[in-house]
Amino acid sequence: MSSKRKREGSTKAQDTKTLEQIKLWEVEFHKDTKNINNLGLLLNLKTDSVEVLHSQLSSLTRIFSKLMDSDQIKSSKNLDLDSAFDSVTELDETEKKSVLGTWLSKLYRTFLKKLVSSLEHQEVAIQISSLRLLMNLLQKEGAFLHRCNTVYSFPNILYSEIINRVLTGSGISNQVITTIIDSYLNQYSDLRFYGFKAISNSISTEIKPQKKKSGNQNKKNLEISETKIVAERVFLLLSKLLVQEDDNVPDSYWIAIPKNLERKAKVFSPMSFKNNFQEAWLAYMRLPLTSELYKQTLLILHRRILPGMVDPLTLMDFLSVAYDSGGPVSLLALNGLFTLITKYNLTYPEFYTKLYALLDNNLLHVKYRSRFFRLLDTFLLSTHLSTYLVAAFIKRMARLCLFATPAGIAVVVPFIYNLFKRHPSCMVLIHRVDDEDEEGEVDSDKNVAEMMRCDPYNENERDPSKCNAINSSIWELVTIQNHYYTNISTIACVFNEPFTKPEYILEDFLDHTYSTMFAAETGRKIKKAPALSNPGPTTLIRDGEVLSSLLDF
């Protein structure tokens, strides 16, 4: 135990000494440029200490920022970043004297490589610190470019490298993504503009290697896993970025704009801004998305994606595939399709046929039920819809009530009532007289199985025009009138009365669940206590008790 403490004490003392040495090297460099070799010493310093590494990176950032301000090194836009990253850090004395500027620039690129790699450090604090230092250097590079050029310039090479590493690097914390969103992208329009472009390029680079098939199955699985991680990070990034809906680009820039600079660059154009936004989302949607990502994307598509796009109709293919896939994904895709149809005049073939197909036995049990019925109510609002079409939807929903929970039935019954109010021609479904029963009475002796067997409605037909619903009846709602839950049986009896009531407000029924119904029943106040009749006692001890055999009164 004592040896362990000694090692810890020795390590701490060594770290303290190294921290002091880093400060000394930096101070000496700032005092006299003859101490330029200190830069190489700082850069070549190796450490496992988080505190020392943070001090090293911060010190080097301050030094290179000063060199950038004095125009002694070039920005990454004027030097190939990839080749610089592979450059040797140590150069001989002759080269240092003859080409000092080039040598400093190469050291700067080597430092950038180290700083970008630190984004993947196991400590989240180092990741976030490295990000902030990189963004500060990006700002310095931008200022350098504007001093050297008369037109707008942006250090896109370094910025693309930062975004690419954040999206594709291993071990990148979500806190890093949150930091770059909250502190930079959502604060400065130029970072957001070029950020969309960098995301598109990064995804394109990620997809290309996946097209080459590998013979190693383990390698394939690893590539798929890495692509899923990239997709999750891209979604986290894009979904939190501000949407540019109007034609005004916010006048807030991370790279300072000179006052006399003409604003002709694309970064100042709202249309170019939207185009970059659109390309980033389309690139993301080409990635292999997990089921959960698919759902999350569809949930925000109509609110956060469509309003910021130049041409929202480019999402038709994505939405069509989602709509045709069935299940909860289809329900979520309905929101986006509805927006395209109503706002952007999209013509969708066989829309109502596919909408009818979504009414399956699982519909009333999914958590997106209320969202679906809101949209369905909008789609069936027109009084110009064919009678056979509305009848098919009414009959299908009535059939679903036989297998639904009380909360599901509580939505469907008012919905059907509203459809009858809008489409009186469907009233024939309520009271149908056939040849076998001229009185039109429902035979109470028939069970549900017999009613379904005699029903002309074909529930397996996916085409509403061929399901023969118009020749059927809604006997299912008569069955619901005998439901075990009193509130359900009561509301189902509304079809036995004249249709003089106004339409139901559907929002009052959409959010019912077992929990809300149970809470309503248990929280109900009893106005009058139920009457009880208990016979008065005639003896002190009742018959059958132990004492009754011992005591005789």
Cα gap 51→54, rounded to integer Å = 5
Helix (H, G, I), strand (E, B) or coil at 516: helix
- Count of CB atoms situated within 10 Å of the CB of 4: 8
306-312 long-range contacts (CB < 8 A, ≥24 apart) are 306/336, 306/339, 306/340, 307/243, 307/245, 308/243, 308/244, 308/245, 308/274, 308/277, 308/278, 309/274, 309/277, 309/278, 309/281, 310/271, 310/274, 310/275, 310/278, 311/278, 312/339, 312/340, 312/343, 312/344
Q: Give the predicted TM-score (pTM) of the model.
A: 0.80
Q: Which of 186, 158, 190, 181 is nearest to 266 (CA)?
A: 190
Q: What is the mean pLDDT of residues 51-57?
A: 93
DSSP 187-220: T-HHHHHHHHHHHHHHHHHHHHHHHS--S-HHHH
- Count of CB atoms situated within 10 Å of the CB of 517: 17
pLDDT over threshold 90, residue 187: yes
State residue 4's pLDDT score: 54
State residue 94's pLDDT score: 52
For 446-468, the pLDDT digits (tens) are: 566 666 678 899 999 999 999 99
CA atoms within 13 A on the CB side of 401: 29
Q: Which tokens go with 217?
A: 């199955």
pLDDT over threshold 60, residue 440: no
CB 249 within 8 A of CB 194: no
Highest mean pLDDT among 11-20, 199-208, 291-300, 340-349: 291-300
DSSP 29-60: HHH-GGGGHHHHHHHT-----HHHHHHHHHHH
> How confident is residue 10, by pLDDT bands cut at 50, 70 and 90?
low
State residue 15's pLDDT score: 80
Q: What is the mean pLDDT of residues 244-264?
A: 78
Helix (H, G, I), strand (E, B) or coil at 390: helix
State residue 89's pLDDT score: 47
pLDDT over threshold 50, residue 400: yes
> How confident is residue 374, by pLDDT bands cut at 50, 70 and 90?
very high
